[in-house]
Amino acid sequence: MTTDPSAGAGGGLPESTASGVATQPTAPRRLDPTLQVVRRYAWPIAVWLLLGAMILWYSTLIPQFTDFQVTSIAKNSLPAVYLALAQGVIVIAGGVDLGAGALMVLANAVSANLMEGQPLWMVTLIAIGVVLGAAALNGFVGYVIAVSGIPDIVVTLATLFIFTGIALIVLPTPGGGTNGGLRYVFTGAETGVGTNYWPSIAMIAIPTALLAIWLGRTRSGLAIYALGSDENAAHLSGVNIRRTKITSYAVGGGFAGLAGVALTAIANSGDPRFDNAVNGTLNSVAAVVLGGIILGGGMGSVVGAAGAGIVFFTLSPILTAMGVDPNTGQVVRGVVIVAVMVVAGLLQWWRRRKQ
């Protein structure tokens, strides 16, 4: 019989051997580095391939597929992408932020209120201020969670109501506006409607890449993964648990703020409805799950979450193009989430069995 060289590695009971009993636990075989990366990031890669396939399919469904449709998908999915990134960071750190959508709505209301009629330099300052303010606000939420020990889901459920409430105080009815320059940055046109998709795509790619690099390459970013993966081991490795928790919420808050600014730029107004907040939050959680980030933390990539955010957004035009009733469309979204998780589970089971 051949004994498995890595016996005792994964499942099974940990074993010890008496002194004098000698076995060599060999390290797993060295994999080709490229293969290793593909294996590790298989999920995000699959999500982006799925997105490509969906857009291709969409292009065959409608009579004319032009730059206009590409721009439309890219710009309109921006808030969903940013919220997915926000939720992604927080979930990787082992938390969950039900208030993310509300923070987006608050940022939307505040920015639309302040930016109306302002020159570009002022609008830029306001945009930066709103993003930083959202980061600080959510950082405080993280602080409350870290210090009080109240579960994340409880505290952020409270912020969901609080932030939406403040947004309604700031801007009781839909309104406000912004500067054409800001609209150009997010939508590719000063009017918000056009065929220039590069700015929107850049606004998806650059923040996603920056966040992914920070998470995967820097000490403070890896600490986010460490916290979500094994809090005790992270603590013993010298990670400052409290600071890392706060950082995850602050960074997430910054991205939720960016989502709000993007909304202002796309719609040229603020719309502080509770529905928007709840939908934003729930879609961001769905995107995180679909994007391969494990609820509970430690695993997955924000790149996958961003892709899943767009996948989710792209479902609606596809379903519309297919003539599916919007209510049925909601059902389809739910089925997609479950179906993807089931397929992933089956793949994992199959891989383990093969070993």
Partner 1 sequence: MTEPVLEVRGVAKRYGSVVALRSAELTVAPGEIHALLGANGAGKSTLVKIMAGVLPADEGELLVDGRPLRPRRPSDAFRAGVATVFQDPTFIPDLTVAENLRLAGIDRRRFSSWLPQLGLAELDLGALVKELPLPLLRLLDLARALAHEPRLLVLDEITAALPGDQAELVFEAMTRHRDAGGAVLFITHRLREVLRMCDRATVLRDGRTVARLKPSEGDESALVEPMLGETVARAATEAEAEAEAAPANPAAARVATPDAPIALEARELRVRGRLNGVTLRLHAGEIVGLVALEGQGQDRLFDVLAGDRPADSGEILVAGEPVRPRSPYDMVRRGVVLVPADRLMALLPQQSLRVNLASALYNRVSRWFRLAPDEASRVTETVRRLDIDTRAARQVRRLSGGNQQKVAIGRWLTAGFRTLLCFDPTRGIDIRTKEQIYGLLRELAADGAAVLYYTSELAEVPLVCDRVLVMYGGAIVHELPAASADEPTLLNAAHGLQEAST
Nearer to partner 1, 105 or 234 (CB): 234
Q: Residue 12, interface with partner 1 (CB under 8 A)? A: yes
Taking the C-alpha atoms of residue 307 and residue 51, their distance in angstroms, rounded to an integer, is 7
Q: Is 354 in the site for partner 1 (CB under 8 A)?
A: no
Element (H, E) at 289: helix 274-290
List the one residue out of 225, 226, 223, 276 whose CA is nearest residue 88: 225
Which one, 124 or 220, has the nearer CB to partner 1? 220
Which residues are CB-neighbours of 296 under 8 A, at least 6 positions away? 94, 228
Q: From 278, 263, 293, select the one nearest 159 (Cα to Cα).
A: 278
Q: Does 60 bind partner 1 (CB under 8 A)?
A: no
Closest CA to 113 of 161, 193, 172: 172
Residue 21 or 338: the one with the smaller Cβ distance to partner 1 is 21
Does 175 participate in binding partner 1 (rule CB under 8 A)? no
Check binding of 173 to partner 1 (CB under 8 A).
no
352 is an interface residue for partner 1 by CB under 8 A: no
First-residue to last-residue Cα distance in the chain: 16
Q: Between vectors from CA 152 to CA 285 and to CA 128, what angle results, nearest 5°?
A: 70
- The residue whose two tokens read 């580095």 is 33
User: Which residue number, 4 or 275, has a Cβ lying nearer to partner 1?
Assistant: 4
Query: In the bound complex, what is the minimum distance in angstroms from residue 56's beta carbon to partner 1?
Result: 33
Rule CB under 8 A: which of 202-231 touch partner 1? 216-219, 222-223, 225-226, 228-230
Nearest distance, CB of residue 242 and partner 1, angstroms: 9
Near partner 1 by CB under 8 A, which window of 5-13, 67-75, 195-203, 262-270? Answer: 5-13
CA distance 147 to 246: 10
> What does the alpha-carbon distance between residue 264 and residue 270 come to, in Å, rounded to a whole number?
6
What's the rounded Cα separation, in Å, for the pair 81 and 76?
9
Verify binding: residue 4, partner 1, rule CB under 8 A: yes
- Asked whether the beta carbons of 208 and 85 are under 8 A apart, the reply is yes
338 binds partner 1 (CB under 8 A): no
Q: Which residue has the tokens 């990031």?
A: 41
Identify whether the C-beta of residue 54 lies closer than 8 Å to the C-beta of residue 318. Answer: yes
Residue 4 Cβ vs partner 1, minimum distance, rounded to whole Å:
6
CA distances from 203 to 82, 264, 308 (A): 10, 15, 16
Q: State how far the Cα of 14 lies from the Cα of 58, in Å rounded to an integer.
A: 51
User: Does 1 sit near partner 1 (CB under 8 A)?
Assistant: yes
What is the per-residue binding string for partner 1 in 224-263, x denoting contact by CB under 8 A? -xx-xxx-xxxxxxxxx-----------------------
Judged by CB under 8 A, does residue 149 bind partner 1?
no
Q: Does 33 bind partner 1 (CB under 8 A)?
A: yes
For tokens 């929107």, the residue is 200
Residue with smaller CB distance to partner 1, 24 or 328? 24
CB 251 within 8 A of CB 139: no
Q: In terms of residues, how long is the chain?
A: 355
90 in contact with partner 1 (CB under 8 A): no
Smallest distance from the beta carbon of 149 to partner 1, in angstroms? 14
Quote the least distance from Cβ 355 to partner 1, whole Å.
9
**For partner 1, which is the closer residue by CB, 259 or 293?**
293
Q: What is the closest distance, in whole angstroms, from the C-beta atom of residue 147 to partner 1 in the complex?
A: 15
Residue 52 as a binder of partner 1 (CB under 8 A): the answer is: no
Chain contacts with partner 1 (rule: CB under 8 A)? 1-4, 6-10, 12-28, 30-31, 33, 36, 40, 216-219, 222-223, 225-226, 228-230, 232-240, 298-299
